[in-house]
Structure 1
Amino acid sequence: MPLYPLLFEPNLHTVVWGGNQLRPYKGLTPTEEPIGESWEVSAVPSSTSIVSNGFWKGRNLVSVISEMPVEILGEAVARQYDNQLPLLVKFIDAKRDLSIQVHPNDEMAHRVHGKMGKSEMWYVIKAEPGSYLYAGFKDQITPDEYQRRVSDGTITDVLARHEVKSGDVFYIPAGRVHAICGGIMLAEVQQSSDVTYRIFDYNRPGMDGKPRELHTELAAQALDYHVEREYRTVYQDEADRAVQIIDSPYFDVRVTEMTAPFHRNLKKYDSFIIMMCIEGDCKLRIRETGCEVLIKAGNSCLIPASIADYDVFPLNSRSIVLDAFIDNMDRSLSSLVTRFLHITNK
């Protein structure tokens, strides 16, 4: 049975801060339901993706991967993550501010919850004028001050506030305090985890009318109080080139703005590829098999590692896609020098 790019059924999550942009963005009938998240590719047990195309149509992603873990995930990924998909990707529509929150690292998440930690990144798709988000502390504070400011509701006074626009990128490692605020729609790539510690939630009720649970003490254990000079990721935006925007221990993310057919051979990374179509419908063709799939704006696909040599054809004047994967290439000094010389002599 030949492998092929996997597409997925809509997996939408209703939340108190959600908006009404994700359904039309994904080509679905609009409703007034406050949809805050679209879990595009998920192997999280609480909300696993369902395949919508080909041989595995109707099957959940976890069961599909269990049949061909090496071919789908890549040999190195399957070995390192015990045949589990290590990433979760989402589209997020924040009509209202999300809670001030933090995520635990791998050690704490495994010790307390038996789960993976949660580092993540954001790519802003669109933002209303004047909209902003929080990422990191703007000034150094102590754990005691943290406790006091949570108690008196002034925690946002010491957070770094960033006005944002389309194309902005933020890396949120585990331990960094953060919050997406109202008027922002973005793509999120994260470790495959659903562990979040709410620090402050504006004293508002949840969807059930009851106050949402806070995790102040766990958050205090997870918080990294280090202050960075710059929290926004700076990158050079270039058309018709896969631009690396995140290179972390947990995932590599590239953004490509295409105005013409674009070839990608990512087999060298020995990893699955998750492709998120941010703007402009496109067609993906696998070189080995000739298999083609249509990926519409607002939708995503998972490309198995063993067939990650493909062409992408923009079907409008341009398409913008995000690729997320695990970089398993040799990071030794000698290898990095070899890669540098290859690039400079290309």
Structure 2
Amino acid sequence: MQALHPFRLAPYFRTRIWGFHDLSPWFDYKTEGEPIGEVWLTGEMCTADTGPFKGQPLKEITAANGEALLGEGRAGEEFPLLIKVLFPKEKLSVQVHPDDAMAQRYGEPRGKTECWYALDAGPGAEVALGIKPGTSPEQVRAAIEESRLEDLLTIIPVHKGDMIFVDAGTVHAIWPGAVLLETQQTSDLTYRMYDYGRPRELHLDKSMEAMRLTTGAGKVAPRNVNGHSVLIDQKYFRVEKWNGTLPSAQNASANVVQMLFVAEGKLTLEGEGLEPFSLDRCQLAVIPASAKDWTLKSDGAAEVMRILPQSA
């Protein structure tokens, strides 16, 4: 198998009615048109910004490089994780994602389990995560029809550095006040339950089918492992935070593709036979499974999120 070099991906900006027109200081991006709510970092339309793949969409890179990119036995698969930065200026709809079994009943390859890491959070930042204990499905449906579903949601505060797990089937909503790094299964399946009177389609029947009143969702406490923090280690993904010591081929080898997201600082990625490239805050590098030699260097303080897919 030919070894592939790491490469940086260019972000893709997605319009959302609940987003911002100006994403500074996180991204140098302003628009007079529709607001931007999501910045996709590993979407299939994101293009390589460095190296031999420069200008190619991630979907094409993945299809052409199979196991060398994704790992042994993964040829023919899609890129396994969709990573985004979310900028909610307004409340997102109350929604729920199906699990794999339900998604496949409707002809989709997979469901959507995700997690949120708070890159920043202002005073009073909150999210809705789950239905209050003791609530029945009939009460949920009635609350939707009577425009009072918010009364039945479990609300949790969000602080900078929090990791929140959002299991498939969890009724949830993101509210203003935080900037979130989202890691999720590669899926865009969302069933909208309630939208505060906005004129957008609701998916009530599928929402009720997907909803689970008890899930594994909630805040996750970090674990210290060999000088870095494991923020979450779940069925589909593992997210780590590195500062002080930075990941390299020597201390962060993997037999699958991995992603490095710069939360703080400015770094350079180097390696044998690799033209060095920079990684600024909010930029992401893809480390192919077959990459043999790579090192991150920083002139000052830096914080790097290392994200890996897990076997389902």
Q: TM-score, normalised by structure 1?
A: 0.82
- Distance (Å, rounded) in 2 between the aligned partners of 1:32 and 1:325: 36
Give 1:311's match in structure 2, choosing from 291, 295, 300: 295
Query: Residue 69 and residue 144 in structure 1: after superposition, are their counterparts in 2 closer, same or farther (change >3 A)?
Result: same
1:320 matches 2:306: no
Matching residue of 1:337: none
Deviation of the 1:268 alpha carbon: 5.5
Deviation of the 1:160 alpha carbon: 1.3
Matching residue of 2:20: 19
Matching residue of 1:273: 258
Deviation of the 1:180 alpha carbon: 0.9
CA contact (8 A) 1:255 1:320 kept: yes
Query: Residues 76-133 of structure 1, C-alpha deviation per residue, up to 9 Å, x if partnerless?
Result: 4x15xx4321110001100111111110011111221423210000000111211111
Deviation of the 1:29 alpha carbon: 4.1
Matching residue of 1:234: 221
SS in 2 for 1:307: coil
CA contact (8 A) 1:8 1:50 kept: yes
- Distance (Å, rounded) in 2 between the aligned partners of 1:262 and 1:87: 19
CA contact (8 A) 2:23 2:29 kept: no
CA contact (8 A) 1:140 1:227 kept: no
Query: Residue 237 and residue 167 in structure 1: after superposition, are their counterparts in 2 closer, same or farther (change >3 A)?
Result: farther
Deviation of the 1:299 alpha carbon: 1.3
- Distance (Å, rounded) in 2 between the aligned partners of 1:264 and 1:233: 27
Q: Could you tell me which amino acid in structure 1 is paired with residue 30 of structure 2?
A: P
Once superposed, what is the RMSD of the aligned Cα atoms? 2.3
Report matched runs for 1:12-51 at 5 Å: 12-22=13-23, 24-26=25-27, 28-33=28-33, 34-43=35-44, 48-51=45-48
CA contact (8 A) 1:24 1:30 kept: no
Matching residue of 2:235: 249
CA contact (8 A) 2:12 2:41 kept: yes
SS in 2 for 1:16: strand
Query: Residue 107 and residue 285 in structure 1: after superposition, are their counterparts in 2 closer, same or farther (change >3 A)?
Result: same
Q: Which blocks of at least 5 consecutive residues in structure 2 are unaligned?
A: none
Deviation of the 1:187 alpha carbon: 0.3
Query: Residue 63 and residue 153 in structure 1: after superposition, are their counterparts in 2 closer, same or farther (change >3 A)?
Result: same
Matching residue of 1:284: 269
- Distance (Å, rounded) in 2 between the aligned partners of 1:139 and 1:157: 12
Count how many residue pairs are aligned between Structure 1 and Structure 2. Answer: 309
Give 1:146's match in structure 2, choosing from 140, 148, 169: 140
Query: Residue 51 and residue 227 in structure 1: after superposition, are their counterparts in 2 closer, same or farther (change >3 A)?
Result: closer
CA contact (8 A) 2:222 2:232 kept: no
Q: TM-score, normalised by structure 2?
A: 0.91
- Distance (Å, rounded) in 1 between the aligned partners of 2:247 and 2:42: 23
SS in 2 for 1:64: helix
- Distance (Å, rounded) in 2 between the aligned partners of 1:293 and 1:140: 53
Q: Using the TM superposition, name which of 260-269 and 49-58 deviates more.
A: 260-269
Matching residue of 1:296: 280
Q: Which blocks of at least 5 consecutive residues in structure 1 are unaligned?
A: 205-210, 329-346
Query: Residues 235-289 of structure 1, C-alpha deviation per residue, up to 9 Å, x if partnerless?
Result: 2579x9321111111111111123x655354775411011111121111223x54
Deviation of the 1:154 alpha carbon: 1.7
Matching residue of 1:207: none
- Distance (Å, rounded) in 2 between the aligned partners of 1:101 and 1:302: 30
Query: Residue 97 and residue 235 in structure 1: after superposition, are their counterparts in 2 closer, same or farther (change >3 A)?
Result: same
CA contact (8 A) 1:133 1:162 kept: yes
Deviation of the 1:181 alpha carbon: 0.4
Report matched runs for 1:1-346 at 5 Å: 3-22=4-23, 24-26=25-27, 28-33=28-33, 34-43=35-44, 48-76=45-73, 78=74, 82-204=76-198, 211-226=199-214, 231-236=218-223, 241-258=227-244, 262-265=247-250, 269-286=254-271, 288-307=272-291, 310-315=294-299, 317-327=300-310
Q: Identity rate of aligned residues, in percent?
A: 30
Matching residue of 1:208: none
- Distance (Å, rounded) in 2 between the aligned partners of 1:121 and 1:109: 19
Query: Residues 273-324 of structure 1, C-alpha deviation per residue, up to 9 Å, x if partnerless?
Result: 11111121111223x5454221110111211011165322223x31112111
- Distance (Å, rounded) in 2 between the aligned partners of 1:243 and 1:264: 18
CA contact (8 A) 2:51 2:275 kept: no
Query: Residue 29 and residue 98 in structure 1: after superposition, are their counterparts in 2 closer, same or farther (change >3 A)?
Result: closer
- Distance (Å, rounded) in 1 between the aligned partners of 2:10 and 2:139: 45
Q: Could you tell me which amino acid in structure 1 is paired with residue 58 of structure 2?
A: L
Q: Could you tell me which amino acid in structure 1 is paired with residue 61 of structure 2?
A: V
- Distance (Å, rounded) in 1 between the aligned partners of 2:273 and 2:220: 37
- Distance (Å, rounded) in 1 between the aligned partners of 2:289 and 2:188: 25
SS in 1 for 2:8: coil
